[in-house]
Amino acid sequence: DTEVTQTPKHLVMGMTNKKSLKCEQHMGHRAMYWYKQKAKKPPELMFVYSYEKLSINESVPSRFSPECPNSSLLNLHLHALQPEDSALYLCASSQDSGRGGYGYTFGSGTRLTVV
């Protein structure tokens, strides 16, 4: 089991739905990340939160909205998604974003299908 917990593990949503992905870690890490991974491709960075502040947004469409309520939690709010947004969404955390990412740990992912 990973120390980064993602829920739900699977999600099917319609293009008009609003849903949220959740990520939680209790390792005391101060940097948290969202990645999107399509089949047979490497993960693509979406957002980086460092000390609960958004530090990197890799030009992700506004239908994806991240939120970091506290240092242990990271959410990804989804609205008006397109079928091409179907992918594995990975959360990760590390000790902080500026020390080579030591302790970088991935969650098990949420398999998202947009219909």
Partner 1 sequence: KNQVEQSPQSLIILEGKNCTLQCNYTVSPFSNLRWYKQDTGRGPVSLTIMTFSENTKSNRRYTATLDADTKQSSLHITASQLSDSASYICVVSALTGGGNKLTFGTGTQLKVEL
Smallest gap from Cβ 80 to partner 1, in A, equals 25
Q: Angle CA(83)–CA(73)–CA(98) in degrees, nearest 5? A: 95
Q: Which is nearer to partner 1, 40 or 83 (CB)?
A: 40
Q: How far is the CB of 99 from partner 1 (least distance, A)?
A: 7
Q: Which residues bind partner 1 (CB under 8 A)?
A: 2, 4, 6, 31, 40-43, 45, 48, 50, 55-56, 88, 90, 92, 94, 96-102, 104-109, 111
Whole-angstrom distance, CA of residue 88 vs CA of residue 75: 15
Minimum distance, C-beta of residue 37 to partner 1, in the bound complex (Å): 9
Q: Tell me how far apart the alpha carbons of residues 111 and 115 are, in angstroms, rounded to a whole number.
A: 13
64 versus 94: smaller Cβ distance to partner 1? 94
Q: Which of these, 68, 111, 79, 108, lies nearest to 92 by C-alpha position? A: 108
CB 91 within 8 A of CB 27: no
